[in-house]
Amino acid sequence: MGEFEKPEKELAGIKKALVPEEKITEIPIEKRTPEQMLERGKELVDKGEINPQSITEEIANGKQRALQPDEVASLVYYKAKLDKEFDSVYKKIDEAIKNENFNEFAKKYITAFFDDLEELKRMKADIYPKATEHMDDIISMIESLEDKGFAYNIDGNVFYEVSKFKEYGKLSGKNIDDLVSGARIEINEDKKNPLDFALWKKAKSGEPYWESRWGKGRPGWHIECSAMSCKHLGEYFDIHAGGNDLIFPHHENEIAQSVASNDKPFVKYWLHFGFLNIENEKMSKSLSNFITARDVLARHSTEAVRLFFTQAYYRGPLNFSDELLVAAGKGLEKFKNLVDRISLELNKNRTEGAAPDIGIKQFEDKFIAAMDDDFNTAQAVAVIFDFVKEVNRRITETEHISVEFYKNVKVFLEKTAVEVLGIMNFDVDDKSANKDIDVNFIQQMIDRRTEAKNEKNYARADKIREELKELGIELKDSKEGTTYKIVN
RNA sequence: GGCGCUGUAGCCAAGCGGUCUAAGGCGAAGGUCUGCAAAACCUUUAUUCGUCGGUUCAAAUCCGACCAGCGCCUCCA
């Protein structure tokens, strides 16, 4: 095979690396060579006969069990495969560091990130601070923590002393004693307390470093957030958001750092959002069950993706699948059809007709109330759907409707669905329009079909409609004539 | 083991003590319009909210237990 190295070592390391040792009651004595095991493991996993990941989870979740020889083989293969994947990532990073172009390395991903955000119509933040550009702020915050007695320096490594901060654990509802006795915390010899976390890490040879009064090193995770938010937003600011997984330890540590350093409360409101799940599991790099924004946007419109998200509450978990996005896209059709209709009517510029009162103010009030209620976007979206239905109802009920009516409708939708939620779009979507299609050609075909219809030659009319549909042009007949829509 | 989140129609998902015989979307069924489509509209699609108890005049909503799924508690961000 030769693809992986030292499988016998992996065999010995399974218990330690993949599953809690005490949970495995027995590992069978292997008669196969390590190479044979790898081969067998690959076969089983590739064919889907054994899922090593589920075995590790099952055991990690408390089940005690004996392993079967084939299961061991699959675990060996799994471990080797993971190592190989991680190695390739580390190799890339190492190379970037060695070539002293890690700024370039990062820039590539930052650019891609912004591209995706724009595609998703995310509003831009005012500032996107970089930790590497705030070293002075970071270092002085650590200095102040050390000076105030919240941090200690051990041989160039500076740690935050958790026990000095009375309110530690308040945000996450944790209790220091529970945490200390928790089985999963490894004791680091350097720290006074296993919960103490690094503020400054001494540089190992070959690593990038910055100068400080503790020597060459780099900041620990957490401190850059405290330092940068303090600098740009002030020592005490209104809202701090983040994923649920950051509550502990990251946000807890940010509070500890900022409060201790500034002698002030840190933030007023914490917003923590639920995970995007795949098959009910957190989407994450380590589970390699992630989908990139780019992939999704290649298959679904921005509005569909946004509608999908806004139809659920931000705090809860949300399962992600192509199927659900397709359903969201279908719902969007209702919006698109109305948008098309409005554009059409506004172009006609007809002044006569009625402008029925559908109580826009009430819809507006409901929309605002929903958004005010901790961003209940699901309810806000429901208001939009109700509104659209009401508008359509009036259109079908009323003989002649004035431009005024459509204008009012458009204003409301722009204020809510377009600007706030971003689930509707009044601009002509260049991306979906097929520029190769000649407008004159379409009109000619429509005229020919109308002719056929007048002659009651429906077979011919239907055939023309079919042909155009294959070109991505959908025809719609109405009292006022035939219109078309480019779909793709 | 500790802390926390979730469980509502075929699917997604709001509602979090009375207005709930439970919003909205997708799907499905029937209808109006139409030569037919499409769109749009109308009607139907949960007497019930994971299970079992309790509190209350009143519970999907509060409390308790249990069941199921997920997450954090370790490195990295």
Q: Give the DSSP letter string of A269-315.
A: EEEEEPPEEETTEE--TTTT----HHHHHHHS-HHHHHHHHHTS-TT
How many other C-beta atoms lie within 10 A of the C-beta of residue A190? 12
How does the average pLDDT of chain A come out, rounded? 81
**A313: Cβ under 7 Å from strand B?**
yes
* Measured distance CA(A19)–CA(A158) in Å, rounded: 32
* Measured distance CA(A224)–CA(A228) in Å, rounded: 6
What is the separation of C-alpha A47 from the centre of its chain, rounded to a whole number of angstroms? 31
> Mind listing the pLDDT tens digit for each residue in A459-482?
888 787 888 777 777 777 776 677
Interatomic distance A373 CA / B75 C1' (Å): 38
Lookup: nucleotide whose C1' is closest to A374 CA: B14
**CA end-to-end span of chain A, whole Å?**
47
* Measured distance CA(A286)–CA(A276) in Å, rounded: 15
Based on its alpha-carbon atoms, the radius of gyration of chain A, rounded to whole angstroms, reads 30
CB of A464 closer than 8 Å to CB of A452: yes
> Mind listing the pLDDT tens digit for each residue in A137-176?
999 999 999 999 999 999 899 999 999 998 998 888 887 7
Cα distances (angstroms) measured from residue A223 to each of A168, A326, A385, A442: 15, 42, 45, 62
Q: Which residue has the higher pLDDT, A37 or A141?
A: A141
**A32: Cβ under 7 Å from strand B?**
no
- Smallest Cα–Cα separation from A93: which of A111, A116, A109? A109
**A451: Cβ under 7 Å from strand B?**
no
Strand B: positions under 7 A of a protein C-beta atom: 1-7, 11-15, 23-27, 34-42, 69-77
Per-domain residue ranges of chain A: 7-98, 131-273, 301-418, 439-486
Interatomic distance A250 CA / B29 C1' (Å): 52
Considering chain A, what percentage of its residues have pLDDT values greater than 90? 39
Interatomic distance A256 CA / B73 C1' (Å): 17
How many other C-beta atoms lie within 10 A of the C-beta of residue A111? 10
Interatomic distance A330 CA / B28 C1' (Å): 15
**A182: Cβ under 7 Å from strand B?**
yes
**A187: Cβ under 7 Å from strand B?**
no
Lowest-pLDDT choice from A135-139, A218-222, A421-425, A476-480: A476-480
* Measured distance CA(A224)–CA(A135) in Å, rounded: 8
Interatomic distance A305 CA / B38 C1' (Å): 25
> Mind listing the pLDDT tens digit for each residue in A278-310?
877 777 766 667 888 888 999 999 999 999 999
Residues 90-119 of A with CB under 7 A from strand B: none
**What's the pLDDT score for residue A289?**
74
Query: Tokens 């915050």 appear where?
Result: A141
Interatomic distance A250 CA / B16 C1' (Å): 30
> Mind listing the pLDDT tens digit for each residue in A352-365?
777 888 899 999 99
> Mind listing the pLDDT tens digit for each residue in A241-264?
998 889 989 999 999 999 999 999
- CATH fold of A301-418, please? Isoleucyl-tRNA Synthetase; Domain 1 (1.10.730)
- ipTM value for the complex: 0.94
- Choosing among 3.30.460.10, 3.40.50.2300, 3.40.50.740, 3.40.50.620, the CATH entry for A131-273 is 3.40.50.620
How many other C-beta atoms lie within 10 A of the C-beta of residue A271? 13
**A284: Cβ under 7 Å from strand B?**
yes
- Smallest Cα–Cα separation from A324: which of A390, A359, A279? A279
Lookup: nucleotide whose C1' is closest to A395 CA: B40
> Mind listing the pLDDT tens digit for each residue in A387-412?
999 999 999 888 888 889 999 999 99
**DSSP alpha helix (H) spans, A48-134:** 52-60, 69-98, 102-119
Tokens of A41: 């493991």
Lowest-pLDDT choice from A6-15, A38-47, A335-344: A6-15
Interatomic distance A184 CA / B74 C1' (Å): 7
Query: Phi/psi of residue A267, each to 5°?
Result: -135, 155
Q: Which residue has the higher pLDDT, A458 or A234?
A: A234
Q: How confident is the model at residue A346 (pLDDT cuts 50, 70, 90)?
A: confident
Interatomic distance A165 CA / B26 C1' (Å): 51
Q: How confident is the model at residue A84 (pLDDT cuts 50, 70, 90)?
A: low
